[in-house]
Amino acid sequence: MTLQACLLLAFLLFAIGVYGILTRRNAIGILISMELMLNAANINFIAFAHFRALDATAGAVFSLFIIAVTACEMAIALAIAIAVYRRHGHLDVDELTELRDPDV
């Protein structure tokens, strides 16, 4: 177990998350993929804290904050998903084009 191995794992997870965000059409699916990417970032933080950092506790605390902010963000995002579903009857992001510039 080396720093490189951990970072490679995090990068792979991030790439998988990117694939999910680009291919999912359900809004909740996009949120789930985003969680994967945030998780990858968190793994990076902990890996650097474990292997490299001068002040490792700060790194751990930082990723604790990331976890908290992610929880907040998920709460808001899922509330928005429920509101969108109530209004449109579906969560297909390809159909949600109200804010798009019609000329483009």
Strand partners for 92:
26
Q: How far is the CB of 76 from other proteins (least distance, A)?
A: 5
- Which residues inside 50-69 make contact with other proteins, applying CB under 8 A? 50-53, 55-61, 63-65, 67-69
Nearer to other proteins by Cβ, of 1 and 104: the residue is 1
In terms of phi and psi (left: phi > 0; alpha: psi -120 to 50; beta: otherwise), the region of 11 is alpha
Q: How many residues bind other proteins (CB under 8 A)?
A: 73
Q: How far is the CB of 98 from other proteins (least distance, A)?
A: 16
What x/- string results for residues 24 through 43 when contact with other proteins is judged by CB under 8 A?
xxx-xx-xxx-xx--x--xx
**Cα 102 from chain centre:** 29
The verdict on 17 binding other proteins (CB under 8 A) reads yes
Q: How far is the CB of 61 from other proteins (least distance, A)?
A: 5
Separation in Å, CA 17 to CA 8, 29, 34, 36: 14, 10, 6, 5
Q: What are phi and psi of 26, to 5 degrees?
A: -80, 130
